[in-house]
Structure 1
């Protein structure tokens, strides 16, 4: 006889900041919930990032609902402090979290709701599902990357942790125009080896300090909705990088700026808009991530390009929602400090509609 899977009212996929914030509001509403987390521990996605990583927002602007960060609120927490805060948050509210459970299928249940299956063989049935896997996780790199020879080590930014991962002391390239590219390039440059950064110099830069955060939060600029005049204008512009990181990297004599990357060659070089690299020992691709929702087998949940279909995180499919996506509602949506507002809105409306 086939065993009926255990049932929960609401199942959350992902125990990052979005999942934990949603769990807080569900718990406060008295709704039974389970969180499925693919990693072996809460916060592990932060703990395993590159050693020099820090939050781009200060602790005071990065709290989840009803639990402040410990320590100096003005500091920019390290990756390990961030992992510890998420673990503390989960333990403080005693959420039911199943770790080591990578979801491989979400499909409509014959009797209503959803059946969720994991790679470890766990099977749940839930009335509602909230996808909290965060900003897109599938690394993207330019098609021309395939032109590089096998002798050139290629590493995605999500796999980079420290300079010792890259072979030898020869020239390396970092390709990307975001904050991670700047931080990783500086990390490598501090070893003294030649570093070539393929960075689009049209990328805007913004100071990252207490005054800036007080201004953008106090004026509501960071919370402007994606379809508001301010939100539309912000989405049309490239994401700014931290000006302090930009100036820091420009201070290294062993760093050469080659402009946006345009091609790679079989000789192991990368051509930028301004200059080309010599033959490289390694390349770190910090070129962003794309969606991968092949496991979400719910008709009407995704657009033809694989992007979630939603309004402020709420799917038109009953009982399904998304959290933690870039510009889910505002620029702050993908930041830790924006998790609470989005989760509060999604949970309130999801409970009303189902």
Structure 2
């Protein structure tokens, strides 16, 4: 089997992987980018139809290429996909598509061997893992107690309200911005929507002034090693106050509090009150690590990567795009660039 040799291999052609590619190219390093999808930006293109970036275009650019069009708009998910495609094409990055990585192991000598499901084999001195902010959908244990007739759908597979069966009650479980957007999308159909949202979740405005303050004060760049940064890292992520307020205004929406269990009839138990039997539940409950393909001793007991600003104990192996890799901006399109530069120049 032919082995492709390359100095640096970037796994994942999302925002983090492309930011890494920019700085590798700037530095003159030989590199390749692998991605499991058929096109750059496809992860954004396949997300739910109503999704928009939570930051305006002027605050969402990757290094070296600003967004075209109005800088004040909040781009749609399709615009985000197009921006990433155009970014990769503009810089002519060597992106190899349909290359889902199946294993990353140490080489017999220096470096690492990466194999893909498609049968390609690569040997690289450095590997930058940019596969996103965890990838395995996470649902609570009590989801298994819901009876079979209740449709269960994770937010990563939700695209539009027509996917959800019936016209009766549906619950959206989660305390993040995706939960609010999906609940509003379902509420627009007129069906009863029960929102299992933690009442303790804080909310902030999402407007141009807020983003100007975040950028000018440097709050998005505060490191997790800083006292205030650590406080922010361990605090629940706030949601957009305008989205929360609008959702509360729907007559067919009820907030039931944090979900705590399931009923035999097919409803949910929650802090405020239970729901009636449901047609469906959408779990907007996040993701967990899924790195079983990486055969290196660089994870803690929970499967979370151990790293120092992305750099791991394995020489030449780094992560990018993880939540709080270094700062609040580490997993944001407009904030990943500084982490990418630090990784590329220190790897």
Instruction: Provide TM-score, normalisation by structure 2.
Output: 0.99
Matching residue of 2:138? 140
Matching residue of 2:235? 237
Matching residue of 1:188? 186
Cα offset for 1:132? 0.3
Give per-residue Cα distances to partners, 1:166-199, cap 9 Å, x unaligned: 1110000000000000000000000000000000
How far apart are the structure 1 equivalents of 2:130 and 2:86?
19
- Asked if the contact 1:13–1:131 (Cα under 8 Å) also holds between the matched residues in 2, the reply is yes
RMSD between superposed Cα atoms in Å: 0.7
How far apart are the structure 1 equivalents of 2:92 and 2:6?
16
Give per-residue Cα distances to partners, 1:240-287, cap 9 Å, x unaligned: 000011011011000001000010122100011001111100000001
- Asked if the contact 1:189–1:252 (Cα under 8 Å) also holds between the matched residues in 2, the reply is yes
Instruction: Provide TM-score, normalisation by structure 1.
Output: 0.97
Matching residue of 1:327? 324
Matching residue of 2:338? 341
How far apart are the structure 2 equivalents of 1:180 and 1:4?
43
How far apart are the structure 2 equivalents of 1:14 and 1:195?
36
How far apart are the structure 1 equivalents of 2:280 and 2:2?
51
Give per-residue Cα distances to partners, 1:67-112, cap 9 Å, x unaligned: 0101000100000000000000000000111111110100000021
How far apart are the structure 1 equivalents of 2:115 and 2:289?
20
How far apart are the structure 1 equivalents of 2:139 and 2:264?
17
Matching residue of 2:81? 83
Q: Which runs of 5+ in 1 are unaligned?
A: none
- Asked if the contact 2:204–2:239 (Cα under 8 Å) also holds between the matched residues in 1, the reply is yes
How far apart are the structure 2 equivalents of 1:340 and 1:235?
19
How far apart are the structure 2 equivalents of 1:148 and 1:173?
12
Give per-residue Cα distances to partners, 1:40-72, cap 9 Å, x unaligned: 110000000000000001100010111010100
| Runs of 4 or more consecutive aligned structure 1 residues displaced over 3 Å after TM superposition | none
Matching residue of 2:313? 316
Matching residue of 1:273? 271
Matching residue of 2:205? 207
Cα offset for 1:133? 0.6
Q: Which runs of 5+ in 2 are unaligned?
A: none
How far apart are the structure 1 equivalents of 2:163 and 2:100?
27
- Asked if the contact 1:221–1:230 (Cα under 8 Å) also holds between the matched residues in 2, the reply is no
Matching residue of 1:291? 289
